[in-house]
Amino acid sequence: RPVRRSCLRALYVLDSEGHLLPSGCVGELCIGGDAGLAQRYHQRPGLSAERFIADPFSATPGARLYRSGDLARYREDGALEYLGRIDHQVKIRGFRVELGELEAHLQGLPMISEAAVLVHEGVGGKQLIGYVVPASDELLAADARQLTDTVRRALGERLPDYMLPAQLVLLAALPLNRNGKLDRAALPPPQVWEAEAGSAPQGVLEIELAQIWQQVLQVNRVDRENSFFELGGHSLLATQIVSQIRQRLGLSVSLRSLFEHPRLEDFAARVQALQHSCERPALVADTSGERQPLSFAQQRLWFLWNLEPDSSMYNMPGALRLRGELNLDALRQTFETLVQRHAVLRTTFYEEDGQTWQRVHPQLPLSFVDSDLRHLPAPDLEAQQLAREEVAGLFDLRHGPLLRVRALRVAEDEHVLLLTVHHIVADDGSFRVLINEFVTLYPTLNRGEIPQLPAHSVQYADFAKWQRQWLEQGGELQRQLDYWQQRLAEPQAVLELPADGDQRTAQAGAGAHFTFSAELSQQLRDFARQRDLSLFMLLLSGFTLVLHQRTEVSRVRIGTDIANRNQAGLEEMVGFFVNQLVLQVEVDAEQSAAQLLDACRRAVLEASDHQDLPFERLVEALRLPRRAGRSPLFDIKLIYQEGVGRLPSMEGLQVEDFPSGRQAAEIGMVAAFYNDAQHIHLSFETPAGQYLPSTLECLSEQIQAVLAALISADGLQVGDLLNLASDVQRRADARLSEQRKALLGGAMAIKRRSANRAAPTAQIAAD
């Protein structure tokens, strides 16, 4: 409501840092003025120090400013509007919520004139109940359901899920006490929706969904008009609903669908529409004998290979150290068996009738070489050099083979195994499949037994044909393309971190590796679980915030990889499945940390809902200028993997990692998070010489500090976390400066000592 202004008072609306806010922005009402303002509370020094502060806007020495604890904003007409109390703070599912802030958002909607919010203890825990007075009698008399749905959608565009009211109660007016203030005790209790009758679920799908809701929400009855939130639902329970739908009905439904369609009747209609529009055809083996097309990802690599057939950029290396007695014949047989199991490893590519096709050969010779390095003075170093040479070797996509195997003997009972495959037939997930099957097949063949691995019902070529049929013929490609074009409609420069390295002194395979403490790693896992986040979403929040702090770019766009193995049977198959997604997050210092977390969660969920669109098609549709060897949409990529680093055990041999000679990153930076049983690890891959080691170390320190703060303190603003990241960077810069001074001082001392030792000789020569 409007506040009457006094000519003797200066009324300011300030943010949490004491900065003036523009019209329309909600902040704390602070009162200044040279006359009539009290100096303190009587006999309450602590509260006085908190509320009566120095007035930074007054020219009068010693002037005070009173922090009222009221939420307010200036309207466009210059009137000051009171919106509620700041200190009405509650905790909902671990999140701190300012009731006054939620009330302000409700009152800011054009269809609402007044609002109040209370906390009610419901079936699913504490719930927010919103009481609203429509802006006109016509709205009050209109369809209440339509109005509350409109309000909920409008709030959902501005607020995180945990701040959305479970119920909205329409009132003709808010009850007031004798002093003209809101009488919260007189607000009516929320409705008990369970008690309604006469609108039972209709149809098989509604009945199935109602049963799932009853089970998850622990209610006795669910009617068509019931809202998920009105029955006590929240984001944690929504996740359970979605999981149950996938498990029991075999349907993939997004969390967003439930939040946007919370009533059972509407939600069932949405699920039905999704089922019909997005139903995927079954992936089956192709027995037609027709030519096999390339997948979308393969098509792009074929195009790039034809542009630069002498480039090894898309070679994928892997290397293992094998300790123990190695049977080279059994090793060769193992990889010959793998080539027969995975048809894509005996595939070549050709052009015909203006298109590119893949040809699966019944047999294709295995490229297998074994070398003995024991006669050399440093066999291990030679093996590392050969690994670098191996990954730089070229492949012929027209004739194959596209997998090379090399065994290097470096000691009596020790070998290094080098695997190199072209990306057009494999991805990182394929290496996991190859290694797992290698450690199973080799011992069996070494014993002279016949392997018993289950045969694949489909092969990668079947997937490529299925992908094109589903996306191109069913309209799914256009649906997902429409989303991404809208999401990325606003053009912006590719986000880049300023380089500070020296490429003249660079070493190949640049990067750095860091390990989070076991304590922080577990705290991050626990926090993500409690807040309905994946660990990836939480790590994305910290990484995004640090990128914003370093670049001052508010709309952060980074890339990520998604396995794209959604069909049954693809998890254990070799092939080029991986797709790239763009994650876009808006960062604002005025956001709460909880809002940033929610923004990252939404970004991941929405991207996952539209993950099938081939990245190549997106780039073509956006008509972005190509950059040699770089993505036109992002220069920084974040990837996340579970359980990496735990190599499977193997009968008769000890398996260890070995430097693979992997080439430097083809984009500006890849930040790779790996979560194992004890620790979270962070590795940076960068072009050689792009960044100083100290820069990457500082980045890791910033990310860890921000994440630690984010999970340990409620009520933080993004601005607080940005300040923390800046402090970490300043300390790192100061530490580096001291190290450089020490090194410079040491070098100067050595130079002086050398000069002193040389002085007598110079004198004798002069004489």
657-679 residue pLDDT tens? 898 877 666 688 999 999 887 89
The model's pTM: 0.65
Residue 310 has a pLDDT of 93
Q: Which helix (H) or strand (E) holds 13?
A: strand 10-14
State pLDDT tens for residues 591-610. 899 899 989 988 988 888 88
Q: Which 8-state DSSP code applies to residue 393?
A: -
Q: Which domains does the chain have, with CATH numbers?
A: 1-87 (2.30.38.10), 193-278 (1.10.1200.10), 292-462 (3.30.559.10), 476-497+509-646+663-731 (3.30.559.30)
Tell me which of 725 and 569 has the higher pLDDT. Answer: 725
Q: Cβ distance 222 to 213 under 8 Å? A: yes
Give percent of the chain with pLDDT exceeding 90: 40
Q: Give the bridge partners for 134, in sequence order.
A: 112
Strands 125-134 and 167-170: parallel
Mean pLDDT of the chain: 84
385-399, 630-644, 737-751: range with highest mean pLDDT:
385-399
User: What does the pLDDT average to over 492-516?
Assistant: 72
Q: What is the pLDDT of residues 615-624, one digit of tens each?
A: 988 988 888 7
Structure confidence at residue 505 (pLDDT) = 46
Residues 206-257: tens digit of each pLDDT: 999 999 998 888 887 888 888 887 777 765 677 778 878 866 776 778 777 8
Residue 510 scores a pLDDT above 70: no
Per the CB < 8 A criterion, the answer to whether 404 and 397 are in contact is no
Q: 176-185, 387-396, 447-456, 722-731: which range is least confident on average?
A: 176-185
Asked if the model's pLDDT at residue 392 lies above 70, the reply is yes
- 266 or 757, which is more confident? 266
3-state SS of 274-301 is HHHHHCCCCCCCCCCCCCEECCHHHHHH
**Which segments of 524-602 are extended strands (E)?**
555-562, 579-586
* Separation between Cα atoms, residue 210 and residue 268, nearest integer Å: 9
pLDDT for residue 123 is more than 60: no
User: Can you tell me the distance from the alpha carbon of 230 to that of 166, in angstroms, rounded to the nearest whole number?
Assistant: 5
Give the type of residue at 580. Answer: Q
% residues pLDDT > 70 (the chain): 86
Query: Pick from 203, 223, 215, 211: which is nearest to 269 by CA?
Result: 203
Residues near 751 by Cβ (< 8 Å), separated by ≥ 6?
Answer: none
Contact 557, 684 (CB under 8 A): no
Residue 328: C-alpha distances to residues 337, 421, 432, 656, 692 (Å):
14, 20, 22, 18, 42
Give residue-wise pLDDT tens across range 312-346: 989 999 999 999 999 999 999 999 999 999 999 99
For 99, the 3-state DSSP assignment is helix
Q: Which amino acid is at 261?
A: H
